[in-house]
Amino acid sequence: MEMQIDKLDKISIARIVGSLDGVTSIEAQEKLMPLVQAKCCLALDLSKCNYISSAGLRLLMMLAKQVNAQGGRLALSGVCAEVKDVMDITGFINFFKLYDTIDEIISAMRKEQ
């Protein structure tokens, strides 16, 4: 797993490449949790994330809870069919706003500011 984190205005954008599994979700958590602050805007680009395990789902849920507790916003983009299926089957999909692209997230978050 590789991750690139950029900041655009007040929006943190994390691009995840590879799998989010038991090993890589620990590293991802270490990189993502510091981005969770009061009223943060966090966009996760999963367009190059081809697999997510229960550990990856747990990380996403933890992020969602922490972001919500801080009064922030979290959205996912580019979720591939396989990952979307796992999220749908587990019911996790109901906890996230999904967009096709990062640009759509940025536009939506700017409108909400």
> pLDDT tens digits, residue range 40-66?
999 999 999 999 999 999 999 999 999
**Does residue 30 come out as left (phi exceeding 0), alpha (psi in the -120 to 50 range) or beta?**
alpha
Sheet holding 11-20, edge to edge: 2-8, 11-20, 41-52, 73-77, 97-99
Gap between the Cα atoms of 83 and 86, Å rounded: 5
Q: Inform me whether the pLDDT recorded for 113 exceeds 80.
A: no
What is the domain extent for residue 41? 2-112
Q: What is the mean pLDDT of residues 18-22?
A: 95
State residue 9's pLDDT score.
87
| Whole-structure pTM value | 0.94
State residue 7's pLDDT score.
95
Q: Inform me whether the pLDDT recorded for 2 exceeds 90.
A: yes
**Parallel, antiparallel or unpaired: strands 11-20 and 41-52:** parallel
- Cβ atoms within 10 Å, residue 99: 20
> pLDDT tens digits, residue range 70-103?
999 999 999 999 999 989 999 999 999 999 999 9
Identify the CATH number of the domain in which residue 17 sits: 3.30.750.24
When divided into structural domains, the chain yields a total of 1
